[in-house]
Amino acid sequence: MPSPNRLEEFALIQRIAKRFGGLQNHTIVGIGDDCAVTQPNSKNLQLITTDLLVEDVHFNRRFTNSRDIGYKAMVANLSDIAAMGGVPRQFLASIAIPPSFSRNDVDALYEGMMELGKTAGVALIGGDTSTAKKLLLSLTLIGEVKPSHVVQRTGLRVGDAIFVTGTLGDSNAGLRILQTPPRKHVPLACRTWLSQRHLRPTARLNAGQRLAKCKIATAMIDLSDGLSGDLAHICELNAVGATINITHLPISDALHTYAHHLDKPAYEIALQGGEDYELLFTTRPESLSRIKRWNTHGLLDASHIGTITPKQQGLQMITPTGLTRPIRIQSYEHFRS
Amino acid sequence: MPSPNRLEEFALIQRIAKRFGGLQNHTIVGIGDDCAVTQPNSKNLQLITTDLLVEDVHFNRRFTNSRDIGYKAMVANLSDIAAMGGVPRQFLASIAIPPSFSRNDVDALYEGMMELGKTAGVALIGGDTSTAKKLLLSLTLIGEVKPSHVVQRTGLRVGDAIFVTGTLGDSNAGLRILQTPPRKHVPLACRTWLSQRHLRPTARLNAGQRLAKCKIATAMIDLSDGLSGDLAHICELNAVGATINITHLPISDALHTYAHHLDKPAYEIALQGGEDYELLFTTRPESLSRIKRWNTHGLLDASHIGTITPKQQGLQMITPTGLTRPIRIQSYEHFRS
């Protein structure tokens, strides 16, 4: 007889395959063979990204349920495809589960992935399972993009305008709220909204595809480490500097309220950010009016926050009082701090 | 300033990209952007497999060095591509490393992957890094295969001959030797050879490709869980039974010697196996002479070990004394036992 562990693993894979593993998106063989088999679209390039999420590093099960963990793992991967202007197609999900993890927990994890996965049109085609002391997810997502549409992290020039989608710092604030006992003087609606922005961020697939299709973005990156960290990274890659106008940072009403109660400038939280999963992109100045038009018509939600400068100027910000100051780079450290 | 952890992560990724991440195999963008970008061969199907290796579940750092861990992670993935008859192309490697893991350990891990990866012609195109209490590797390997060459786990018929490549049970014996203090009465050469078969098994890419190309294999699977477990699995998938002739199991001289000293029949270890990474395949009876010819000319090393039977006959073995007995299924449990 196979040992219970192994039997359970086979049963688990069969259950997952049956519930979540339908063939679609040019998938010829899905879960259950040595490999998945796909027929890539020959006209397009293929995009591949992978993200590792580790308990107590990337998420805390004390305030994150299994469904939300699965959901966010999918966001992290979709966001990478968005940042290249691509369309997601298939994914593989490997999980290492602790003994305390129930069958319901496993199902909830996959339900969370598939809740978003279905909306985004991705098919589960494979993965692996193991035991471990702490929960761990490793997702690999495959997408495609027309060769002329690929947007990389490099390609920007001095003088390019810097944009970000959505609002920044909400996820960081949401994490703080989840980590520490709720503050009585922060309204419930504000706490809930910020927490949800941390637990269920949005992958900006439509925005990424629109920018790629119209060839407007000269470079693009998704903001997972936070604005200051990711901006520093893209500037280093391109050997340029950047100046950010603090008053132009998109900040939600909820973050304003929360920051006010913390007695801290909201822009500091927005600059640090972390797990925003918004897109940062650059454009040539001549594209400004087009982006403005898209914003007006609700086709994009992007804020013009600054300009690419020569490298020797480094990373600077123009403060609300009009002063120019260096940006303090604070990368997001999940639960490490 | 970014915190040291994050700085170290960027530095680590840059070092890995520089040392191991050269562009090849239709890779357009490798490590360092949001996604890797590839141009799949439009005439072929794509194969994708992923394997998770967790410390103290799949390997023990007490007797496995980092280089060997990396090497074996690559074998586990290449072996899946081999079992579909494919050619490996690119891979992504995600690692979660414990605080005790040094820079040299990380380098050794990638050196182990690339030592075999270079021989197999695969390019490192991406991955992710994190910290964790225990070392964990998650590899995703992409390969390709001609549409007419794909060999799946299904497709066999009653009457098909069952073959395995190489010898079975060596890795299982090697693990036992590594786990327990060396037995004085087992010769050193035998102990070393078996241990190496556990630490550095062979992925049978050439055999898999040959069988696929000549359309001789009606079904194929790689033996990672052990002969009895994987045979049971493939029989269940195809709703058939199987009879194995014990005297035909390929057993190395070293395993014979070791089993003799254990006072245990060698075939028991070969049947249980685990992490053999040999291929089990089935063929129509009319292909027997061709396989025999290949074996004679050194083009294949495969043993005819049994026959596919109707489902109601279940899994049986013919013992060395000519008796028919049910096979006891013992799947491989790594370090769980």
What pLDDT is recorded for position B222? 95
Between chain A and chain B, how many beta carbons pairs sit less than 8 Å apart? 217
Q: Which of residues 145-174 of B touch A (CB under 8 A)?
A: 145, 150, 152-153
What is the tens place of the pLDDT at every residue in A58-107? 999 999 999 999 999 999 999 999 999 999 999 999 999 998 898 899 99
CA distance B318 to B310: 16
Residue A5 confidence class, pLDDT cut points 50, 70, 90: low
Identify the closest residue of chain A to B28 by CA–CA distance. Answer: A45
Of A51, A54, A83, the CB nearest to B132: A54
What pLDDT is recorded for position B334? 53
Is the Cβ–Cβ distance between B122 and B23 less than 8 Å? Answer: no
Are A330 and B54 within 8 A, CB to CB? no
What pLDDT is recorded for position A7? 59
Question: Does A44 contact B at CB distance below 8 Å?
Answer: no
The beta strands (E) that lie in chain B are given as 27-29, 36-38, 45-54, 87-97, 123-131, 136-145, 161-165, 219-222, 240-245, 279-283, 302-310, 315-318, 324-326
CATH code of A4-147, in short, is 3.30.1330.10
Mean pLDDT computed over every residue of chain A: 91
Q: Over pLDDT 70: what percentage of chain A? A: 94
CA-wise closest residue to B13 among B26, B27, B37, B30? B30
Whether the pLDDT of residue A183 is over 80: the answer is: no
CATH topology for B4-148 is 60s Ribosomal Protein L30; Chain: A; (3.30.1330)
What pLDDT is recorded for position A27? 85
Whether the pLDDT of residue A110 is over 50: the answer is: yes
Distance from the B23 Cα atom to the nearest Cα atom in chain A, whole angstroms: 15
Segment A290-304 shows an average pLDDT of: 95
Residue segments in chain B with a per-residue pLDDT below the cut of 50: 1-4, 335-337
What pLDDT is recorded for position A334? 52
Are A84 and B35 within 8 A, CB to CB? yes
Of A3, A40, A94, the CB nearest to B46: A40
Whether the pLDDT of residue A3 is over 50: the answer is: no
Q: What is the DSSP letter of A323?
A: -
Residues of B in contact with A48 (CB under 8 A): 35-38, 90, 92, 125-126, 140, 142
Distance from the A29 Cα atom to the nearest Cα atom in chain B, whole angstroms: 9
Whether the pLDDT of residue A135 is over 60: the answer is: yes
**Helix residue ranges per DSSP H, B151-287:** 170-179, 188-199, 205-213, 227-238, 253-262, 266-272
Identify the closest residue of chain B to A230 by CA–CA distance. Answer: B2
What pLDDT is recorded for position A9? 73
Q: Which of residues 88-147 of B touch A (CB under 8 A)?
A: 90, 92, 94-96, 125-134, 136, 138, 140, 142-143, 145
Residue A132 confidence class, pLDDT cut points 50, 70, 90: very high
| B100 compared with A135, residue with greater pLDDT | A135
Question: Does A42 contact B at CB distance below 8 Å?
Answer: yes
Sorted by where each begins, the domain ranges of chain A are: 4-147, 161-326
What is the tens place of the pLDDT at every residue in A17-41? 888 887 777 888 888 888 999 998 8
Amino acid at A233: H
CA distance A250 to A247: 8
What pLDDT is recorded for position B3? 42
What is the tens place of the pLDDT at every residue in B224-259? 999 999 999 999 999 999 999 999 999 999 999 999
CATH code of B161-326, in short, is 3.90.650.10
- State the complex-level ipTM: 0.89
What is the tens place of the pLDDT at every residue in B134-179? 999 999 999 999 999 999 998 899 999 999 999 999 999 999 999 9
Distance from the A192 Cα atom to the nearest Cα atom in chain B, whole angstroms: 29
Residue B219 three-state SS: strand
Residues of B in contact with A42 (CB under 8 A): 40, 42
What pLDDT is recorded for position B335? 45
What pLDDT is recorded for position B54? 95
Distance from the B216 Cα atom to the nearest Cα atom in chain A, whole angstroms: 18
Q: Which of residues 212-271 of B touch A (CB under 8 A)?
A: 220-222, 225, 229, 232-233, 237
What pLDDT is recorded for position B26? 82
